[in-house]
Structure 1
């Protein structure tokens, strides 16, 4: 039985040339150099190597012609770096009931203002409302490459979100942070101390406060299908 399909994208093969700036990459599409939007603010240094095969999605409007969706990874599958695709895939997984740690839940609101932050989701669950933040984990680690890790660089924004979740939990609200391990072959999630030691410290504090921490993995198939790899990864914080 195949892995559950979440999205079907009309991607084109492309070759990464360079990261022009934080939000734009230069890519080769059918022999032409094009600009592609990067939505992921991580450094992504293990993927952004000149000459690496990637997957681009055509777009209209703006200063870019494509979205850089994924890089070719294990077994020809794609590691999905595009955070919008990650979010759409996750939301579809929730709709299809494929996320065991959100069983019976539905998305009540997105982009929810809490304190001085904006969290990604407010879920309506059987036990009540859950405030949640999603993070992209596309750094591979471990001797066998079995870990999806976050973050790959310092993130003051990520720190602020975790602090808000801790405050919500201490105020008696249910709070959650979850990670999209958007790479094939990963089995576990680990916080990456060299990326941001404060994030690691805050996640440990969050867990002690009762903030729920989860992760799942997805990948992109060569035909453009985004699939669930593992609906629940083991957590190491």
Structure 2
């Protein structure tokens, strides 16, 4: 059942011109070319392409190098959230609204950014059990198949192995795959990162649970659609 999770208010619509590096792009806003922060290190294949419409948020902090930040891309008939800043907020909403359930206990505690072994993981949850959770955002879809990653990720491959190791410390490890575009299934993207793909299937075989979560963004609100 579709359920509202989170609200993201954008300020401007612009036209994407070019990506200068992983985190910086040029966007045309009201007839002027401006620099915009890209909060996603992935390739964003097909999305951040010249001429595509993007939704932007404007910031006025003196600590920022750019006052604009790319939030989403209008692509075909979808608005695709491409800003990973919001992934953990969305994941926490999934937990707090009970869409992803963690036993019957009501005294669930939630902590973010937990150091474990050589990594930081997104969440530590505790009730009568303890859960270590890593969140991944997926924006690449081909022929109805959601694929992650869209760029090589040594960090992501390491996370999978350390989630397996967490079993020896009494954790229940999970991965949230937040799928930001319409898709019917999910697969690790072996053509981009063989190590991640190998570690993904190894992790599942050892008991790491994967929640493949289809989401949608309608320009202001993020919705849970279903598990796939």
* TM-score w.r.t. length of structure 2: 0.90
Give the one of 211, 214, 237 matched to 2:211.
214
Provide closer, same or farther for how the CA distance between residues 66 and 140 of structure 1 changes in structure 2, counting only shifts above 3 A. Answer: same
Equivalent residues in 2 for 1:135-214 (5 A)?
A: 135-142=136-143, 146-183=144-181, 185-214=182-211
Q: Displacement, 1:102?
A: 7.7
Provide closer, same or farther for how the CA distance between residues 83 and 107 of structure 1 changes in structure 2, counting only shifts above 3 A. Answer: farther
- Contact kept in structure 1, 2:5 and 2:93, CA below 8 Å: no
Equivalent residues in 2 for 1:78-89 (5 A)?
A: 78-89=79-90
Which SS does the other structure have where 1:50 is aligned?
coil
**How far apart are the structure 2 equivalents of 1:93 and 1:29?**
34
**How far apart are the structure 1 equivalents of 2:116 and 2:16?**
38
Give deviations 1:88-143, integer Å, cap 9, x for gaps. Answer: 22222322223357876745211100011111111124x5110011111111123x
Which SS does the other structure have where 2:187 is aligned?
strand
Alignment match, 2:56 = 56
**How far apart are the structure 2 equivalents of 1:94 and 1:11?**
28
Provide closer, same or farther for how the CA distance between residues 117 and 51 of structure 1 changes in structure 2, counting only shifts above 3 A. Answer: same
**Which segment is superposed worse, 59-68 or 204-213?**
59-68
**Which segment is superposed worse, 161-170 or 86-95?**
86-95
- Contact kept in structure 2, 1:140 and 1:148, CA below 8 Å: yes
- Contact kept in structure 1, 2:80 and 2:216, CA below 8 Å: yes
Give the one of 213, 223, 226 matched to 1:227.
223
Which SS does the other structure have where 1:119 is aligned?
strand
Provide closer, same or farther for how the CA distance between residues 187 and 195 of structure 1 changes in structure 2, counting only shifts above 3 A. Answer: same
Alignment match, 1:7 = 7
Q: Displacement, 1:227?
A: 1.9
Q: Displacement, 1:79?
A: 0.9
**How far apart are the structure 2 equivalents of 1:83 and 1:8?**
12
**Which segment is superposed worse, 197-206 or 168-177?**
168-177
Q: Displacement, 1:5?
A: 4.7
- Contact kept in structure 1, 2:140 and 2:148, CA below 8 Å: yes
* TM-score w.r.t. length of structure 1: 0.87
Q: Displacement, 1:171?
A: 3.9
Gaps of 5+ in 1: none
